[in-house]
Every structure is written in structure tokens, then in C-alpha cells.
Structure 1
Amino acid sequence: MKNIFFILLLTVLAGGCSKDKPLVISSEDYHSSVGRLTDVMVHDIFSPPVASRVYAYSNIAAYEVIAQGSERFTSLSEEFEELKKIPKADSTKQINLRLAAVVAQMEIGKKLIFSEESISTFHDSLSGVWKKQNEEEFFDSQEYGKAVAAVISEWMDKDNYKETRTMPKFSVYSEDPSRWQPTPPAYMDGIEPHWAKIRPFIMDSASQFKPAPHPDFSLQKDTNFYKELIEVYNVKNNMAETGDASEEMKMARFWDCNPYVSTTRGHLMFATKKITPGGHWIGICKIACQKNNLDFEETVYAYTTTSIAMADAFISTWDEKYRSELIRPETLINKYIDENWKPVLQTPPFPEYPSGHSVVSGAAATILTRLFGDLTFDDDTEVKYGLPVRSFASFNQAAEEAAMSRLYGGIHFRSAIEKGLEQGKAIGAYVVDDLEVKSLY
């Protein structure tokens, strides 16, 4: 009897000390990792196009890991000629592909942001838990995730981003009355004037989805351009009469997504930090993933396809912005109509045409509709930035509202909004076809 009891005791003790159980990595772990990257980019004040690059490469790193062990998802190295195949996971080691995917995502993210310590601290907090569960599996998986990140990093470094850092700034001097000029209150230089030189992911070139031209610049009252200018002026004035409670005002503020809003108090100027347009749609992607109870692999796939479409959308948008170099409504209204007029939103520091929100929202909504169908959802992405939840019947409805918010905000002409939305949907459809994006619902 004593021998039996002793054997049972040893069994219990051995089980309690065992570290042979495989690590359990959930889709929520991945959501948390992407969320931390978003928080760091808000802190570091990343511009919208640069943020889109961070989302794309970090998610692709994770995707390449999970694609290796999947019968459903295939490596993007078959799509991107310059992307080498990642090394195969060593079958003699205890490699958890999900953990390796999180590591690869964080390693690439850490290379692309400024506040590396924040990502490292987050990684260390997770590592402490995972190491206690299965130390050998943790270290084997971490080593493999870093090896994958090295391959992605090598490919990433050849996209011409570094070269654009040394290219000349946008010259603001011009006698052309239609050409963009810096806007108040900070009068910042035009950001990322060479973004069209970044290597696209799926598009053949930055100009592949060049939008139809905007109306010819004219200050004659019977022209389409002037009519659009007066529309911006009147819409804002009408909203001012109804106050902050108007639906148009709520839309404008909800979709502001300006990562750097300059605020002046006397002689002091400081920045109010917010999420980027791409970051907002990444938040919507998370909502859709959670509502559909996607597993880890499906979650990574959703983030990756959405990120790729948005990254190409920003390249396409910036290509046209710095080709047309169109002036903003605020500049013209202040000079020719009403010097005291101010838009609801702060005008972003780059040319007007097309609306970046419209292009990116159209692209993201097209991808998400393919992934999830016409999903109804409550968008709480902006709650942490002091804005209430808004509800949508579909991704396309959200994209249309995001686009129109730029008119209500007083920062875009109607043509930039409507043509931009068409441009974005075309980019999204192209990505869906080229990558053969799968339905997840």
C-alpha cells in the first residue's frame, strides 16, 4: 500500500514540474502584439504612409511563419520575386509556429519604430509567462522567429525607403496659384514627397491606379472647381450653426485620424497624438476577427492581406498627391473668400488630391468585405482617443463615411473624396484577385 502511495506521489510531483506541455498561443496574443505596435506608432508620431509600411512588413513576417505549417495559406514568396523563402522549421526542435510568428512580427516591428524599448518590454512580459510553461519550446521558437525576421528584414531593406530619407524636401515656392502651400497652425513641410518611389507590394507601379484628374483649377464662379470650393466653405458654416451635435460633425471628428494635431496655447505649441487612418482600419480588422472567432492563423491572414492593400493604397495616393500638387481648400478660402474661416479638422501637411482617407478606406473595406462579407459591427477603435462608438452595417458603409468625413472636416474637395474612394476600391479588388484572398466567414 505504501509503495502504491509513493508511486502516485512521484507521478503527481512529476506532472506538476513538467514543462513538456506545448505552449498555447491564441489569436488574442496576436491582437495584443499588433495593438502594442499601434500604440508605439501613436507615441512616436508616425505619418500615415510610414505607418502602413510598418503594418505590412510586420504582419507579413508573422504570415510567412504560419503559412509554412498550413495547407490553407501559401507563402508570399511565390508572389514577391525579391522575397526569399524563409528557412524551414527544424523538426528536431520544439518549435511552436504560433509563438515564432508573434516573435517575427515583433522583431520586424521593433526594427521599424523608434521606441524599441516599449516593444522589448512587451515582449519580455510575454516571454516570462511562456518560458515558465515550456522553456525549451520557448527558446527554440524564439530563435526560429528571429531567423524568419532576418529574411523579411533583408527584403524590406531593398524597398527604397532608406534612399527616400536622403531625398530633397518638397519645395513650397511657386507662383502657380493652384499649387499646394503649407497650412496653419504649424505650416509644416509636405510630408513624404517621395513616397511613390517605395516599392509596391502588389501593384505593378505606383501609378497603376492613377485616378481621373480633378476639375481644372479656376476661381471663376461658374466652374466645377469653384463650386466644389464653395461647397467646402458652406458645409462647414452650416455645421457651425447646428453645433457639435450634428451627425456631420460627429463623422468628421470620428474619422480625423491625424497623428499630429498642433495645438497652440499662448506662446506654447504642442501635439495631440492620434491613430493614423491605417491604424483605424487595423482596429476594424481586429473587431471583425474577434466577432468571427477566427483562430490564430486566420487572424494573421486577415491582418496581412488588409495591411498589404493599405500599404499599396498609400503608395498610389502619394504618387498622385505629389503629381497634381493641388492646393487645400483652407488656403483658397482664407485668401479669396473669408480670411477668418477655419476647417473643423486641422488640414494635414501634404497636397489635397486625392483624399488619402478615401483611397485607403476603399482598399481596406474591399479586402475586409472579401474576408468577412457585409459584416455589421460596432467600431470602438477611437474610444481610447476620447471618441464614442459608431455602428456600421458594412465595411463599405464605414469607408463611405470615412471618405465623406473629409468634406465635413473642411479639408478636401468632393472630387478628391469620390475619385479617391473609386481608386481605393480598384486597388482592393486588384489585391483580392492577385492574392486570391480567401473568405473567412
Structure 2
Amino acid sequence: MRIKHYTYFLLLAMLIFVPVSCQQNTGEYRAKANNPAFLHRSVKKLTDVIVYDIFSPPVASRIYTYASIAAYEALLPNQQEYKSMVGQLKGLEQMPAVSPGLEYCFPLASVKALLTVGRTLTFSEEKIEAFEQEILKEFKDTGMPKEVYKNSIAYGQQVAEAVLAWAAKDKYKESRGFERYTVTNLPGTWVPTPPDYMDAIEPHWNSIRTFVLDSCSQFKAQQLPVYSLDSTSKFYKELKEVYETTSKLSEEQKEIANFWDCNPFNIEHTGHFMFGKKKISPGGHWIGIAALTCRKAKADFLQSAETYAIVSLALADGFISCWDEKYRSKLIRPETVINQHLDETWQPMLTTPPFPEYPSGHSVISSAAAVALTDLYGDNFTFVDSTEMDFGLPPREFNSFIQASEEAAISRLYGGIHYRSAIEDGIIMGRKVGTHLIQRIETRKKTLTLDQKVSK
């Protein structure tokens, strides 16, 4: 009898405790898998590969955007608070649905979608593949049931394929076959610059489908100064400002110029030797700021994905808008005019990028990204920007995103690569792009104050 009673109570205990134990395990793996560090590390890996592959700033912004949208959309099934960007972004008409009755881990699906899109749009697939295997193993090690893992990977792949199909229709591939930019040599128009006299980069970027902008020329820059060597003209005064400013830079101004250089591939010449230095693009710098912002605000997985998506959209449309104006105005760079008419030995502190001068690209995209981040995290979000530490530069502290964007803009004057009009008009254009974005795109299903967005 004692044995029978013992067996009875043992079976009863198993019936009671085994389901509870399973529920606890389920809760544990979900909490572990919902760690936004998985997303941040994946975006950082994408940045590393973009740097390694030396993508130009406009192309880098395109990669970030499609990968970030995929990561965001893969998180949305069964979400009550956040909205899909389907129907809000140009050409994005649908996303795959989840299968009823199946269980998913959407953070895993999100990482899978991001890495799949990133791997497809970059060259060094093996680097992303190796990282993907490592991070997917970490998801498995959370104790996730095999079926959940399988379902989540499959859904992330489906989202990635939908995003890639959408990306394939943005005319990027077609623009690879357009004719090269023809240098006209007309007075005041852009020509290749020292030391390598590279061809113009992405002269047809305005043919790329915009994401939120109505058209690439929706926010044209202000009237650029008319090229003139008359000492009383606006152009000549701004030219002299570049020349004189760079001749008496303070140590702080030099630090600012270097910090925001963001030249994806800067070739340095020493005698007969050339050394290539790879760096993040201007867009990559702001993606880095988005990451450190999420960490400081303790943003959860979905908030972090939302941040990357919104910031990358600001960058992408900012580059399209800026490049449209650059190849319409075709304004000559300070280095060319100064060498021809003021001082043939003068060199800018920074290497002049290989595309027309007006407006300043960093001014446009930094301002657009700053508007987007301000909308998400507030006007007075202080942060330490450590993005450039990977490239040997010390961090800088800012009291707001707008302050950081304004420093990025003026850095182009200190670097000797832009006139003041290109900087100031670039700021205006970028803020218009960013404002248009936050007015048109809705990621939350209910209106929240900025304080609520940060605290949630």
C-alpha cells in the first residue's frame, strides 16, 4: 500500500510540476531572446561589413535602410502598439503573415531578416554568414524549443525575401548601367580633385526610388552662390572664408573636422606609397549614434528596431535629395578654385570627396537624422558619441542631436571641403527631409508624448 501511495503521489507531482517547469523555461528563453543586444550587435556587424566593402555613402544608406526595415517588420505580428510601414513607404505593399497556431520568437526572426538582407546587399557574404551562425547559436542556447526556432527562422527569411523583392524595384540595379558622369570643364563646374582625381560617385542617385519623399527634388536647396571671382561676390567671399579658416584652425576645430570626416576610403600618399584608410560613412556614423542612444535610453528590442528604421529612412531620403541637387548644380570644390586662383600649394585638411560640392551631404543627412532622433528621444537628450573610437578618435559629448548635427555640418568648413552656403543650405534641406519623414510615417498605433516614448 505504501508503495502504491508513493507511486500515486509521484505521478501527481509530475502532473503538477512538469507543466509549471515548462512554462518557466518558456518564460526564461523569451526573456533572454528579447535582449536588444542581439539587434545592436547585428547592426554593428553590418556596419563593419559596409566599411570593409567600401560602399559609398549613398549606397551604404540604402543597405542600412532595407536591412532595418526588415528587422522592424519581422517583429510586428501580434503587436498591439506598433504599426507596419506597409502602405507608408513607396512600393512596400505587403509583408508575409505568420501561420495561425504556430509559436514564434520574433526577435530571432528580426535578426534573421536583418542579416539576410544585409548579406544579400553586401559583397563579403562570408563575414555575415559566420556572424549569423554564432548569434543564431546564442538564440538556441536560450533554451528555445526547436519548433519555435524553426518557425522563427522561416518567418525571418520570408520577411527578408519580401524586403529584397521590394528593394529590387528601386532602380538601383538599373542605375549601375547608366553612363558615367561627363566632366564639362565649364567655369564653376565640378572636376575631379586631388590626390586621386576619382570619377564622380553616383551621378544618377536621383533615379533611385525615394522612401517617403514625394520626389527626389521635393526639397530643393536654397539658391547657391553664383560662381564668380569678383572679390565683392558672395561666392568669392565664401571661397576666401574657406582659405582663411583652414589656415588658422584651432586644435578643437581640427578635432571636429577629423571626428566627422567619415570618408569610407581615404587614400593617403607618402612619397611613392599609397595607404588606404577605411572608415564609416556619414550614415554609418549616425547609425552608430542611434545604437548608443538606444542603449542609454534602455530601449527594448522593438523600440531599438523602430529607431534604426526611422533613422535609416532619414539618411536614405536625405542622400537622394542631396545627390539630386549636387548633380543639378555641379558646383566646383574649394580645392580646385583655391589651387587655380589663390594658392596652388594649398591643401584642405580633409580629402575632398569625389562628387560636386553643393549642398554638403553631411549637413543634409546629419540634420535629417537629428530631427528623426529628436522626435523619438526628445530635444535635450545628452550623449557621448563614441562612434569613432574604432578608428582611433576620442569620443565627443553633445547636449542634443541637433547640436551634434550642427557640429557635423560646420566640420566641413574646417575640413576645407565646403563653402558656407553648402553647409547652411544643407542643414535646411536635411531638416525638411527629417520633418517630412516624422510627419508622414507612423510607427505607433496611439499617440505618445516624447517622454512616454523614452520611458516605455
Alpha-carbon distance in 1 for matches of 2:139, 2:368:
37
Shift of the alpha carbon at 1:112? 0.6
Q: Retained in 1: the 8 A contact 2:264–2:281?
A: yes
- Select between 414-423 and 122-131 the one with higher mean Cα deviation: 122-131
Question: 1:22 Cα shift?
Answer: 4.0
Note the 1:2-401 alignment, pairs <5 A.
22-23=29-30, 24-80=33-89, 82-132=91-141, 133-134=143-144, 135-172=146-183, 174-239=184-249, 242=250, 246-373=251-378, 374-401=380-407
Structure 2 residue 437 is the aligned partner of structure 1 residue 427: no
- The residue type equivalent to 2:248 in the other structure is N
Aligned partner of 1:404 in structure 2 is 410
**Structure 2, gaps ≥5 residues long:** 445-449
Instruction: Please give the secondary structure, in 2, of the residue aligned with 1:66.
Output: coil
Tell me how far apart the structure 1 counterparts of residues 197 and 164 of structure 2 sit (CA, whole Å): 35
Question: Would you say the 8 A contact 2:83–2:443 is kept in 1?
Answer: no
TM-score in terms of structure 1 length: 0.94
Measure the CA separation in 1 of the matches of 2:198 and 2:415: 19
- 8 Å contact from structure 2 (residues 74, 155) kept in 1: no
Aligned partners of 1:361 and 1:403 also within 8 Å? yes
What is the percent sequence identity of the aligned residues? 47
Question: How many pairs were matched up?
Answer: 433
Instruction: Tell me which stretches of 4 or more aligned residues in structure 1 moved more than 3 Å.
Output: 1-12, 18-23, 436-439
For 1:398, give the aligned amino acid: A
SS in 1 for 2:308: helix
| Equivalent-residue separation in structure 1 for 2:348 and 2:195 (angstroms) | 12
The more displaced of 401-410 and 86-95 is 86-95
Is the Cα contact below 8 Å between 1:68 and 1:74 reproduced in 2?
A: no
Equivalents in 2 of 1:384, 1:353: separation in Å? Answer: 30
Q: Cα 1:81–1:190, aligned 2, differ >3 Å: closer, same or farther?
A: closer
Distance in 1 between the 2:82 and 2:359 partners? 34
Structure 1 residues 15 and 437: alpha-carbon distance in aligned structure 2, compared to 1, 3 A threshold: closer
Q: 1:93, CA displacement in angstroms?
A: 2.2
* Letter aligned with residue 275 of structure 1: I
SS in 2 for 1:220: coil
8 A Cα contact 1:84 1:151, kept in partner: no
Is the 1:69–1:97 contact (alpha carbons within 8 Å) kept by the matching residues of 2? no
Q: What's the Cα RMSD here?
A: 2.1
Instruction: Kindly state the Cα deviation for residue 136 of structure 1 after the two structures are TM-superposed.
Output: 2.2
Retained in 1: the 8 A contact 2:90–2:210?
no
Structure 1 stretches of 5 or more lacking a match?
none
Shift of 1:19: 7.5
Q: Is the 8 A contact 2:85 2:443 kept in 1?
A: no
- Please report how far the alpha carbon of residue 67 of structure 1 lies from its aligned counterpart in structure 2 after TM superposition: 2.6
